Structure 1
Amino acid sequence: MSIEKLNNVVAVSSQVEEKQKVKFRWRVADDHSPKEIYNKTLFLSVLVFGILGAARGTDEGTVAGAMHQPSFKHLFGLSDKSKSEHEIADLKSNIAAMVQLGSVGGAILAMYTVDKLGRVRAVQQVCVIWIIGAIIQMTSRNVGQLYAGRLIEGFAIGQTTTIGPTYMSEVAPPAYRGLFGCLFSGAVYLGIFLSYSVNYATAKHMSGSTNSQWMIPLCLKFIFSGFVFIGSLFSYESPRWLLKVGKNDRALKSLCKLRQLPPDHPYIVGEINDINEQVFAEREATSNYSVWQKFRDLVTVKSISYRFFVIGFMSQLLGQWSGANAITIYAGDLFSYAGIKGVEVMKMTVILGVIKFCSAYFSAFFIIDFLGRRKALYIGITIQMISILFFAIFLQIVPHATEEGWTLSPSEKAASKAAMAALYISGIGWTMGFNSVQYLLGSEIFPLKLRSFGQSLIMVFHFANQYGNSKAVPKMLISLKKYGAFYFFTVVCAMSLFWSWFFIPEISGRSLESMEEVFNLPWYLVGRKGAILCPDTSAVGKITHLADRGSVEILEDLERQKGEEELLENASDEDKNNKYK
């Protein structure tokens, strides 16, 4: 490239960057990529794997509604007057948590299926297991069969949280990877919203003596699983996985279909080179790479153990105990604590479902890539913490709101409405913060050799925590008292704010192949300074699409890169520490 041409390209690029700084846009602007990469083929594949998140959502929504349906409570003993308060709490938690127990097994199974079968075949076998589990539940007439059906469904749901985020992170262009990844977490609340709605409809319009009252909402599971299975027949396999298993020709063909570009296009060449570079390096280092060696690397390699324990592990621990899961599964009970009675409880859950659904997709389209992972976490956790704290204070000051025959004073009624609003607002905070990153980060941060394995292990911990949370919450509400449980959730949220500020790096817009540099920094710099010290230097990151010329130029600002490299090489450890503290 001539000096004159390079100067012209850099000048155009600088003008674009300057314009972006001035103009405020509630969306991500990908001015560096050809417009062809955003196409129907890519969107269909992302939709199929994104809607997979509804597997978890339909389960949580149907079981939350079913446990308030008179027919369900009578059939499975939840309305048995001979049972004590603790026995009812145990039975309720067992029914709710059985899917989470199966999901632990499903997440472990995903370590094998995702890499062995590929992303597309893995999702097809998940749909079959999902349907089998739903059939067993729908035909249940005793609690033992219900447990079995929910356990089997858990084996499917546990795999979805690895398959969906992994596939979408691998096929998504860097600028919109966060948005595409959040389609999966948003689909969770699509499933919850529809399940809440159908449960409300059957509770209002069907007799409490017919089992159809709780069976009809289960039909949503057949609808979603059927859609995903049929859609997967028209989806293209992940090019990264195909290159990893040595199917180079299929990988190039799949990437060209997903990007709608010819094989010799500079964007395709750059992306293939990035993937190949990582695959070849890992292939040399991982010949005969056993499961034991993978576990060893997660623990002994500092950059990987930081990703696994500090980011993946902690995001699940803090997220699952921040109170959001308790609000989703036990929403009916919580609204009754605010003084709502009868079928009106189901209506309130529908409103909660609508708010979480809308908030999840608003965050996906306008926040997670626009503001970045860190700011989205800050804002979301803060909103969640304040709203949960308000609900805890309400439960402490107005503990008699749940008592039959008790009439609330005007001020207590106003506080009751504010408490319901707090639950709704906490849902907005959750979908903006933890929910946006709990699946996304694990699928982005690991190297290719450990991506599906690491994500699967994180999901094992995710469902183990969710199982423990689902089992513990009914007992916490008794032993800690209702307000005590929510004070506990508030403290967890406060801890989460510090964690997200100090430990989480901003990786929005980076290529997957550029993550290594960030996590090779000293641990105390990764979160606060990682993105600044380690800009994206991958081939895709250097490609700028010039729409007015209809061409693609590869920009290599050699002087800037050289200056940065010399600065980092010559700086002593003491200088770095002083500068970035």
Structure 2
Amino acid sequence: MLRLKVEDRPTPKEVYNWRVYLASAVAAFAAVFIGYDGAFIGTALSFASFKEEFGLVGLPAKKLADISANVVSSYQAGAIAGVIIGYPVGIFLGRRWGLIGAASVFSIGAGIMLAANSSTGLAPIYGGRVLAGAGIGAASNLAPLYISEVAPPAVRGQMLALYEIGWQVGAVVGFWINKGAQDNIAPGHTQWLLSFAVQLVPSGIFLAGLVFLVESPRWLIRRGRREEGLKKLCYLRQLPLDHVYMREEIEMIDAAIEQDERVLGTGFWAPFRVFRDKSLLYRLLLTCALFAWQNGTGINAINYYSPTILRNMGITGQNTSLLTTGVFGSIKCGLSIVWAFFLVETMGRRKMLMIGAVGSSLAMLVIAGITKTVDPVANPTTSVPPSGIASLAFLYVWTIFYAVSWNGSPWVVVAESFSGSIQPVAQVFGAGSNWLWNFVISRATPTMFLNMGASGFGVFLFFGLCTAAAVPYVYFLLPETKSVPREEVDRLFRKGLTPRHANKIVLAELAAEREGHTGAYAGGQGHGSSGLGSEKDKGEEEFFEGARSPA
């Protein structure tokens, strides 16, 4: 039987309750419309009805590749700006209102896209995608941050994995919406417009869910709204304030705040002093680089340009292409659920990243070899050739290894690797790194396929080699973050600790310290550096007297 919870300390069963799961699921729903865009846009651009409406039929291959790259990458450009804007919004207005604003901006951008037609040209699509991308960028910053702040350590990876599941659910919907439009709607304006219009559905559902979202207790405490923050924390944990688990969690939060103020100071710009600390800067670069490796697997080339990918593998025909991408998305979604509920908290982040990189790399290198040998673009056939079937099989092998590793693990690692006021800054750079490399790949892929050898085999070779290089990176440099409380993650990265052994050592230290601490609680002694038991905490006890299970 799989052991799903590896706890840093004994945790009451009440902590793993529907409230924390629901709050995490609502925040994670932001990823649904991110995933939808990645799935629908590439195939929507390949519709004959879209090309005819905007005068793209008969254009030279280079010109068409540039237009496709511009449409796709305008979204990523907006997302980079949104990540940056999301930081002050999240700091001053909170995670909840920041997510509400992000969903609203996305919805406005999605609505603008619907104004595009043969008269307006592509301008509304460009403008709408930049605006929608800004909403997505802010949401990709704030949603994982919120989840990491409300989730108990033992299931934090699982809760963050809900974000990835949302991403894949959106992708599956995007693939099959396009397949349905191709099969059931006559070629014309409505056919391609439907794919764009469906974006408004998940954003509307997300906005409705955010109305009921509980604000992050850690944000409230940091903003000086301590009583409200403690009440929300008790609500999410379903425990009274005087429970030993609550006292320990509050102590860690207070200690982290005091440490931040002592090391970084106070104020809006204080967390950015991370750049003065070489060890923190190294950690930031180390974790944010995971998104470069993630994009180096080829995932966004496949997401955004699946018709091109499949054509170069020998899979021809619009209907066949759509069916194939739909199956690809469904496999990825199903295995992301397996990763979230059975692997991320048992196998951990490091091991799955390395296993996934090895398998994905080998599959991509085999596709490169087949494509180089057969050259499907120069030797087209009326039906799918055996080489195309073989390439497709290895694409699905690639999907299996990618889905249980690099699909969501980088988001989990970045969200878990920092504590205190540094965490929002780290999330900005993590999400920004994702969208930066996403932009680079989405902008470059069409040109890469035109210039990197027979049928673009060099593209597959490039992605295979990049993924292989990620294995030593993870093995030698990245510590395992699972089950370590957010306020204690600095220990994992301390000087002299070997990354591959750090997790076991830190968890053992915490267990030993807790044994001594439990004795202090039992004997009525002090409560550590945060000063629990002080006048402040007596006031908290009075505040919660008679309200041990606040709503």
- Correspondence for 1:422: 394
Shift of 1:311: 2.1
The aligned counterpart of 1:9 is: none
- CA distance in structure 2 between the partners assigned to 1:87 and 1:317 by the alignment: 28
Residue 5 (structure 2) aligns with: 28
Q: What is the count of residue pairs matched by the alignment?
A: 514
- 2:477 corresponds in structure 1 to 503
Q: How far apart are the structure 2 equivalents of 1:483 and 1:555?
A: 64
> What residue is the counterpart of 1:456 in the other structure?
428
- C-alpha change, 1:538 and 1:373, in structure 2 (3 Å) is same
**Amino acid aligned to 2:467:** C
> What pairs up with 1:368-383 in 2 under 5 angstroms?
368-383=344-359
User: Partner residue of 1:47?
Assistant: 25
Q: Does 1:212 align with 2:186?
A: no
SS at match of 1:131: helix
Give the conservation status (yes or no) of the 8 Å contact 2:82–2:137: yes
Counterpart among 282, 303, 306 of residue 306 in structure 1: 282
Name the amino acid aligned to 2:111: I
Code of the aligned partner of 1:316: F
> 1:461 offset after TM fit, Å?
2.2
CA drift of 1:428 comes to 2.2
How far apart are the structure 1 equivalents of 2:229 and 2:502?
31
After superposition, give the CA deviation of every residue in 1:361-413 in whole Å (9 maximum; x if it has no partner): 111111111101111101111121111111111111111357555667xxxx3
Asked whether the 8 Å contact 1:380–1:429 carries over to 2, the reply is yes
Contact 1:127 1:225 in 2 (8 A): yes
Q: Equivalents in 2 of 1:78, 1:99: separation in Å?
A: 20
Cα distance in 2 between the residues matched to 1:534 and 1:555: 20
Structure 2 CA distance for partners of 1:279 and 1:343, relative to 1, 3 Å:
same
Q: Which residue of 2 aligns with 1:5?
A: none
CA contact (8 A) 2:164 2:407 kept: yes
CA shift, 1:427, in A, is 2.0
**Cα displacement (A) at 1:511:** 0.5
With over 3 angstroms needed to count, the CA separation of the structure-2 counterparts of 1:555 and 1:315, relative to structure 1, is: farther
Q: Deviations over 1:125-168 (max 9, x none)?
A: 11110110110112212111110000000101111111111111
**C-alpha distance after superposition, 1:76-133 (max 9, x if no partner):** 3332x1x211111101111111100100100111121111111101010111101101
Residues 98-177 of structure 1 aligned to structure 2 (within 5 Å):
98-141=74-117, 142-177=121-156
Q: Which residue of the partner structure matches residue 443 of structure 1?
A: 415
Residues 395 and 243 of structure 1: CA distance in aligned 2, closer, same or farther (over 3 Å): same
Alpha-carbon distance in 2 for matches of 1:275, 1:386: 44
* Distance change in 2, residues 1:262/1:26 (3 Å): closer
The answer to whether the 8 Å contact 1:78/1:92 transfers is no
Deviations 1:60-87 (A, max 9, x none): 11202201222112223332x1x21111
Measured in 2, the distance between the counterparts of 1:376 and 1:271 equals 29
Deviations 1:456-497, CA, capped at 9 Å, x for gaps: 122222211111110111111111121011111111111100
Partner of 1:97: 73
Matched, 1:235 2:187: no
Check conservation: 2:96, 2:213, Cα contact below 8 A. yes
Q: How does 1:405-416 map to 2 (within 5 A)?
A: 405=381, 413-416=385-388
Say whether the 8 Å CA contact 1:311–1:503 is kept in structure 2.
no
**Which range moved further: 429-438 or 256-265?**
429-438
Query: Could you tell me which of 306, 309, 317 is aligned with 2:292?
Result: 317
The CA distance in 1 between the partners of 2:268 and 2:214, in whole Å, is 28
Shift of 1:536: 6.1
Identity %: 26
Q: Which residue does 2:338 correspond to in 1?
A: 362
- Aligned CA distance change for structure 1 residues 407 and 40 (closer, same or farther; 3 Å): closer
2:528 maps to which residue? none
| Paired position in structure 1 for 2:535 | none
- Contact residue 384 and residue 426 of structure 1 kept, 8 A: yes
CA RMSD of aligned residues (A): 2.3
Q: Distance in 2 between matches of 1:265 and 1:533?
A: 28
Q: Which residue does 1:466 correspond to in 2?
A: 438
Cα distance, 1:507 vs. partner? 1.2
2:360 corresponds to 1:384 = yes
Paired with 1:122 and 1:539, the residues of 2 have a C-alpha distance of: 37
- Which stretch shows the higher mean deviation, 166-175 or 281-290? 281-290
Q: 1:346 to 1:26 in 2, by over 3 A?
A: farther
Q: How does 1:279-294 map to 2 (within 5 A)?
A: 279-289=257-267, 291=269, 294=271
Partner residue of 2:491? 517
Q: Verify the 8 A CA contact 2:367 2:460 in the aligned structure 1.
A: yes
C-alpha deviations, 1:294-326, integer Å up to 9, x for none? 44423x3132112111222x2121211221111
TM-aligned CA distance change 1:33 to 1:406, over 3 Å: same
Residue 369 to residue 187, structure 1, CA distance change in 2 (3 Å) = same
CA drift at 1:444: 1.3
CA contact (8 A) 2:111 2:197 kept: no
Unaligned runs of 5+ in 1: 1-23, 545-552, 557-581
Give the letter for the 2:389 counterpart: K
Per the alignment, do residues 532 and 87 of structure 1 end up closer, same or farther by CA in structure 2, a change over 3 Å counting? same
In 2, Cα distance between equivalents of 1:446 and 1:120: 21
Please tell me whether residue 433 in structure 1 is matched to residue 412 in structure 2.
no
Following TM superposition, by how much is the alpha carbon of 1:38 offset from its aligned partner in structure 2, in angstroms?
Answer: 1.7
Shift of 1:342: 2.5
Please tell me the residue identity of whatever aligns with 1:217.
Answer: S
Match status 1:86 vs 2:86: no
Matched residue SS, 1:446 = coil
2:192 & 2:138 partners in 1: Cα distance?
A: 26
Gaps of 5+ in 2: 521-551
**SS of the counterpart of 2:507?**
coil
Map of 1:331 onto structure 2 = 306
| 1:344 corresponds to 2:320 | yes
Q: Which position in structure 2 is the counterpart of 1:278?
A: 256
SS at match of 2:138: helix
Amino acid at match of 1:462: N
In structure 2, the residue corresponding to 1:274 is in which secondary structure? Answer: helix
Q: Give the drift of 1:54.
A: 1.2
The letter of the residue matching 1:477 is F
Moved over 6 A (4+): none
Change (3 A) 1:237 1:526: farther
Q: 1:390 to 1:247 in 2, by over 3 A?
A: same
1:289 shift after superposition: 4.1
- Name the counterpart of 1:67: 45
**Is contact 2:287–2:410 with CA below 8 Å preserved after alignment?**
no
Separation in structure 1 between the aligned mates of residue 249 and residue 327 of structure 2, nearest angstrom: 43
Whether contact under 8 Å (1:514, 1:537) holds in the other structure is: no
What is the DSSP-based 3-state SS (H/G/I as helix, E as strand, rest coil) of the residue aligned with 2:242?
Answer: coil
